[in-house]
Structure 1
Amino acid sequence: MPVARPESSDARVIAHVDMDCFYVQVEQRKQPALRGVPTAVVQYNAWKGGGLIAVGYEARKFGVKRSMRGDEAKKACPEIHLVQVPVARGKADLNIYRNAGSEVVSILSRRGRCERASIDEVYLDLTDAAETMLSENPPETLEAIDEEALKSHVLGLNQSGNEKVMNVREWLCRSDADHRDKLLACGAFIVAALRIQVLKETEFTCSAGIAHNKMLAKLASGMNKPAQQTIVPSSAVKELLASLPIKKMKQLGGKLGSSVQNDLHVHSVGDLLQFSEEKLQGHYGVNTGTWLWNVARGISGDEVEGRLLPKSHGCGKTFPGPQALKTIASVRFLLLIMSLHYRLFFPPVYMYCQCPFMDTNS
């Protein structure tokens, strides 16, 4: 269950950097001829053309989605190039993507505490770097502003028409802004420079969200893709969450989110504002109730952990058609094979994850 952590009284600058169709970008760097053409990466299981695990933006224009199989994707986009994930010992080998992600992490970690959340996403705590910039070289004193920073999206700011760049420039360089907004502006300059450096050194593009906590930064990073960044000032938080579907919030995509929707008859995160903290605690317990109360207000005290390796890797296997597991015996046989695999190649994992079904006498 989620853990309620109050925010620090000191303003923080947190960025969430999300690579754009990362697996596709890695393959396009290997094969430059794939750049600019419809491309997707498929899993090692070749049934019906393989399951799509990453779809490039060029292919998305034709309606290709990750839920498709390769054969279906070809019907939607006959010109699509399907690249298979490398295979090692009969399994998908993601090392090429992990290593490429490590290249990006090594660049991002130069400016602040870095938490690698997965192969293709990273949290950065840029508070110290932003404070330093604000004291030594504040935005309002800058004579030249990088174009990438001026392309930032600032939630709550009028950014339509020909005045977009001028409005962003004015917001970033306001001398009368409060300290929190000035820190975010400094964060925007730092993130823009990092994204440029990532592109220069790795050829990969990435998008980013910049906010005062991890939760808001992650929400923002996916709002304007690809190769763009979005800033969430405190004044824009209420509007951002007002229409955000419950299921779109991290940790509310599963059973807890369904329970909240059904029990409280709410549809958006903003709808939770109508309930007191005590009411939410009565439904979901003290800790989860307080967490929901905080979420509705954009409050999150989760720290960026100094970690350069992903916290977890997802692993799954599908059994379509004749490969389907139809009997208890077949399931037990599969678990036995998995047990032997981990015993041979990952002894610590085997010791930690032993399952009662993995009984050689079964």
Structure 2
Amino acid sequence: MASRFTAGNLAALAASAPAPTAARRAHSPLRVVAHVDLDAFYAQCECVRLGLSPDTPVACQQWQSLIAVNYAARAFGISRHENISDARKKCPHLVLAHVATWKEGEAHWAYHDGEPDVASHKVSLDPYRIESAKIFRMLRATCAWVEYAGIDEAFLDLSALVHDAVCEHFPHIAAFINNDPPGDTLLPLPGPLPPDVSFTGTLFPIDPNAAELDTADPSPDAATTTTTTPADWDDVVLMLASHIVADLRARVLSELKYTCSAGIATNRVLAKLCSAYKKPNNQTILRTAAVPAFLAGTSLRKLRGLGGKLGSAVAKRFGGVDDKNDEDEDAPDNDTAEPPLQTTTTKSATPSLMIPQLLLVPLPQLIAELGHDTGTWLYNVIRGVDDSEVKLVPASKSMLSAKNFRPPLRSSEQAQKWLRIFVADISSRLRDAAAEARDTGVTMKYPATLVLHHRKLGTSGGFHSKQMPIPLGATATSNLDTLEEVLFSAAKTLYALTEKEAGMAAMYPCANLSLSVTGFAAAMAGMKPINGYFAPTKQVDVEVDEADDEEDDNEVITCEDCGRAVKTEEKREHDDWHYALALEQQLRAEEQTTASIATSAASSTSSAKRKDPGTSVRAKSKAPKLEKGQRRLF
């Protein structure tokens, strides 16, 4: 009896498969994708740095809020974005580790004693980026096809590794392939399994009512293995992949002391859902036959790409519910530099739309309501169908460093101190990007444009923006050593020009300042050296959503917030643009509220005298909610 799968399906997994390799793998029913997710990553980094046991309740503190909480602390009911005093009440022995910061006037980030002052410090994520880079180097040493999905998560296309493992463990298949059969030839069945071929991890049951799910601890130190005779090769490739991932997780834990969870499935969407199924320090395998049962218990908003306005609109239109405030406490840490300003998390009291409800909506209706591309994509993804590729190319096309100033800046001397910090921050990330490019064999791309954004305090200030080109040298490594000074010189020039053109009255007090580099491109032979290139250039005012140079990449996604078509690799920059606009609106509203209260207080002297001196008149407001993958600007 023959397999349901063909020689072509298996051949598409091989590293030597004809180009385009990634596209061929993405359409093979035997493809295997893993999603690796570090458990409460920021908190884990602090545990490792401080030499603490994972059983110690630890929270990562930023100003007066918590941005990451380890699982030992969660056992006490502590959650992210909770304020310090409430967390202390729940767990008096909670260890609080404040994030590293850049201090005004200093040239490097550091962990400072006590609680840093928000007025003179800026958050640094560099310690977490450094640890993340170590983990990614380990991932890439095992698998050649690793996609950066965030500071604490990655997608791995394990297809080539699994192809080689199939040939190693099943000699009859290796001999079959060596005969070079036509691609549509059906494969022979696997037959009896070798002793070392089994599932390791949590195996989701095909029938959720059956007692098939093994709930024993499947961590690398105590792996749960399930050996069964598979129906076909789709089970075998997942078995082999489960061992590859378990070994990889064990090495990350042994060498770097970090635990991670993983999901193993046939595509990116399912792998990501599985990684969150059993956390922490676990891995879940989802067989093709178990996909319907797995998705039957899944909320629509758990699907990648449906966590924002699109998911909310779909839930409201087809399910009659609005679950826009639904938040997953176990969601991975985002690469953010600031937590939301609110100190508590509001969860929706409205039930979420479950996937089985949406399965009843026919494809023509989805297309009529959402458009052809979005409707078709949604129809497929709720059925577990996803052909998106695991990509090597980093998604980010910009780097930004910024800060809100409270109290505001009142002189160019103060501004230059912060520009120095912004430049050091960006330069550090460029060095990390260069190291990553060397590790992956990808051509390093360098920023072509430096952009300055300035915002005056008060409703009449508005944004002032200027940009100038950054020279790119032909020898990239040596240029990184001088790039920081070149960027600082350019930043001072941009600020001086902005100050001159806008006038001092329009500049101060300064409420927000940011510096970004965009337009990343490979250095071309024949370009001038970076340290001899700077010359006066024409300054051009730009909008916040400046466009980058186009690349030869036609894959686009629809932004959930504004409905625009955005290239995949531009998503992070587009998210930053949305947040910049939302932040501007928030600050204006806050200042209007503060001014209104102050005016009211001034006009009512008797009320002001009765006011408790310790009570603030400043209004509190909520920062815009971040979607998965978005980053704070300061």
Q: Do both share a fold (TM > 0.5)?
A: yes
Q: 1:59 to 1:123 in 2, by over 3 A?
A: same
The alpha-carbon deviation at position 243 of structure 1 amounts to 2.4
Superposed CA offset, 1:209-246 (max 9, x none)? 00000000000001111111000111111111112112
SS at match of 1:281: helix
The alpha-carbon deviation at position 333 of structure 1 amounts to 8.7
Indicate if the aligned counterparts of 1:238 and 1:270 stay in contact, CA closer than 8 A. no
Q: 1:168 to 1:201 in 2, by over 3 A?
A: closer
Corresponding residue number in structure 2 for 1:194? 248
Q: 1:35 to 1:9 in 2, by over 3 A?
A: closer
**Partner Cα distance (1:315, 1:76) in 2:** 35
Q: Report the TM-score when normalising by structure 1.
A: 0.81
Structure 2 gap ranges (5+): 1-24, 105-120, 171-191, 207-211, 321-352, 409-455, 467-506, 521-538, 546-579, 582-634
Greater Rg by CA: 2
Q: How large is the RMSD of aligned CA atoms in angstroms?
A: 3.7
Q: Counterparts of 1:161-172 in structure 2 under 5 Å?
A: 168-171=225-228
Corresponding residue number in structure 1 for 2:195? 142
Superposed CA offset, 1:181-200 (max 9, x none)? 11111110100011111112
Residue identity matched to 2:292 = K
Residue identity matched to 2:382 = A
Q: Counterparts of 1:214-225 in structure 2 under 5 Å?
A: 214-225=268-279
Q: Which moved more, 1:10-19 or 1:328-337?
A: 328-337
SS at match of 1:239: helix
Q: 1:309 to 1:290 in 2, by over 3 A?
A: closer
Structure 1 gap ranges (5+): 1-5
Corresponding residue number in structure 1 for 2:373? 287
How many residues align? The count is 336
Indicate if the aligned counterparts of 1:117 and 1:310 stay in contact, CA closer than 8 A. no
Give the structure with the higher percent strand. 2
Corresponding residue number in structure 2 for 1:126? 158
Corresponding residue number in structure 2 for 1:239? 293
Corresponding residue number in structure 1 for 2:178? none
Corresponding residue number in structure 2 for 1:299? 385
Corresponding residue number in structure 2 for 1:3? none
2:123 matches 1:92: yes
**Partner Cα distance (1:191, 1:134) in 2:** 16
The alpha-carbon deviation at position 259 of structure 1 amounts to 1.3
Residue identity matched to 2:154 = V
Corresponding residue number in structure 1 for 2:281? 227
Following superposition, which runs of at least 4 residues in structure 1 exceed 6 angstroms of deviation?
A: 164-167, 308-320, 333-336, 349-353
Corresponding residue number in structure 1 for 2:308? 254
The alpha-carbon deviation at position 264 of structure 1 amounts to 1.1
Q: 1:31 to 1:250 in 2, by over 3 A?
A: same
Superposed CA offset, 1:71-104 (max 9, x none)? 2211111110111110015321111101101111
Q: Percent identity among equivalent residues? A: 33
Q: Report the TM-score when normalising by structure 2.
A: 0.48
Q: 1:297 to 1:282 in 2, by over 3 A?
A: same
Superposed CA offset, 1:119-160 (max 9, x none)? 000100000101110110259223597xxx63x011116135
Give the structure with the higher percent helix. 1
**Partner Cα distance (2:204, 2:263) in 1:** 11
If asked which structure has higher relative contact order (CA below 8 Å, sep 6+), I would say 1
Q: 1:316 to 1:247 in 2, by over 3 A?
A: farther
